[in-house]
Amino acid sequence: AGPVTVLGLESSCDDTAAAVLRGGPGGPEILANIVIGQTDLHAGYGGVVPEIAARAHAEKLDIVVERALAEARLSLKRIDAIAVTAGPGLIGGVMAGVMLAKGLAASTGKPMIGVNHLAGHALTPRLTDRVDFPYLMLLVSGGHCQFLLVEGAEQFTRLGGTIDDAPGEAFDKVAKLLGLGQPGGPLVEAEARAGDPKRFKLPRPLLDRPDCDMSFSGLKTAVLRSRDALCTAQGGLYAQDRADLCAGFQAAMADVLAEKTRRALVKTGAPMLAVAGGVAANQVLRARLEQVAANAEARFVAPPLKLCTDNAAMIAWAGLERLRAGGRDDMSLAARPRWPL
C-alpha cells in the first residue's frame, strides 16, 4: 500500500482544527496542523459557552480546512480519507464537524471515519514516537482525567479517572479564586515557582483508596478555605501567600497523579507510560511522572505540547489507524455528546 493522506477535523470543545497527515512506510508525517482557539470568545463567562462554541465552529471549520490544505499544498482531490471527531464533546460543535465531513466525503467519494476524541489523545504517542502496544496513557486536560491501557488502535481499557473535576479545571478554578487569569494552569505553575509547597496542609484526596480513581474538587475547596482564612486574618492576600497556595495546590495535585500512576503501572505491568492533555505541560507534574515511570522501569513518552492539547492531527492519525484496521463510517455517522471508549 502506498502513502495515505488523511484530512482530520476537530470541533468538540473550544478549538476548531483541521490537519493533513500522510501515513507511509517511513511513519506518519504531519503536512499541516491548523488550530483556531476560542479562549477570547468565552472569556468573562467562566467557562466554555456551548452556543458560542457551536457558532464559532460553524464559522471557522471551512477556514481551517482551507488553510490546512493550502499549507499541505494539496487540493481536496488528493485527500484519501476524511477523519472527524464524532464525540464525546459539546454536541453543537461535534455536529458541525460531522456535517462538514459528510459533505466532503459525499462530494469527493472518499471514505469517512468517525473518531472518538479520547482515542485521538490516547493514540498520539504513536504519531510522534515509535511506540508499540500496549502502553498506559494518562490523559490530563481541562475536561478529562483518566488512565487508559491502550492495547490496540480500538482497544482501550479504562482503569480509573476523576470522579469530579478534571485537573485542568481545578488549576483554572484555583487561578480564578486567587485572582490570576485564564487559562489558569500555566499561571499557577509560574506563581508556584516562588512558593513553599509545604506551608499549607492541603488534602491528597482518595489516596487511601487502592484504585486509580481521583478527586480534585475537595482540593480546590481546601485552597478556597485557606484563602478565606488568610483574608479574614490579615485583610487580604500577599504575593507570598498566593505563591505558597499555588505551590501547595500543585504539589498535592502532583502527589495524587504520581501515586495513582504508580499503581496503574503496577496493575497493568505496562512497559510504557504516555501522557496527553494540556496539564501534561506542567513541568513539576512531568518530572514526577518521569520518576514514577523510571522506578517502574517503564519508558516515558510525552508528545510535544501542540499535539498534547486539542488538535486535528491526532484525529487524522486515529482515523488512519482505524482505516488501516478496516474501519470506516457511512452517512449514518452520528454526533455523540457522550461516548465512553
218 marked ligand binding residue: no
d(CA 340, CA 296): 28
Does 248 bind ligand KG4 (CB under 6 A)? Our answer is: no
The string of DSSP letters for 288-321 reads HHHHHHHHTT-EEE---HHHHSS-SHHHHHHHHH
268 or 311, CB closer to ligand KG4? 311
d(CA 243, CA 188): 8
The residue whose grid cell reads 505540547 is 305
Strands (E), 132-211: 135-140, 145-152, 155-161
d(CA 19, CA 65): 7
**Among the residues of 142-212, which ranges form H helices?**
167-177, 184-192
277 marked ligand binding residue: no
172 marked ligand binding residue: yes
From ligand KG4, Zn ion, none, interface partner of 9 (C-beta below 5 to 8 A by class): none
Does 85 bind ligand KG4 (CB under 6 A)? Our answer is: no
Tell me, residue by residue from 292 to 321, as one string, x for binding to Zn ion by CB under 5 A and - for no binding.
------------------x-----------
Are the C-beta atoms of residues 182 and 39 closer than 8 Å to each other? yes
107 marked ligand binding residue: no
Does 309 bind ligand KG4 (CB under 6 A)? Our answer is: yes
d(CA 51, CA 99): 17
Tell me, residue by residue from 160 to 199, as one string, x for binding to ligand KG4 by CB under 6 A and - for no binding.
--------xx-xx----------xxxx--x----------
Does 246 bind ligand KG4 (CB under 6 A)? Our answer is: no
d(CA 307, CA 310): 7
282 marked ligand binding residue: yes
Helix (H/G/I), strand (E/B), else coil: 27: strand
Q: Which of 56, 137, 245, 279 binds ligand KG4 (CB under 6 A)?
A: 279
Q: Shortest Cβ distance from residue 92 to ligand KG4 (Å)? A: 16
171 or 317, CB closer to ligand KG4? 171
185 or 319, CB closer to ligand KG4? 185
Distance of CA 111 to the CA centre of its chain: 26
191 or 310, CB closer to Zn ion? 310
Does 282 bind ligand KG4 (CB under 6 A)? Our answer is: yes
Nearest to 120 by CA among 157, 83, 92, 93: 83
In the numeric block, which cell numbers belong to residue 5? Answer: 493522506
57 marked ligand binding residue: no
Tell me, residue by residue from 112 to 151, as one string, x for binding to ligand KG4 by CB under 6 A and - for no binding.
-----------------------------xxx--------
d(CA 334, CA 138): 27
Binding residues for substrate: 139-143, 172, 185, 189, 282
Q: Would you tell me which residues interact with ligand KG4 (CB under 6 A)?
A: 13, 141-143, 168-169, 171-172, 183-186, 189, 277-279, 281-282, 309-310
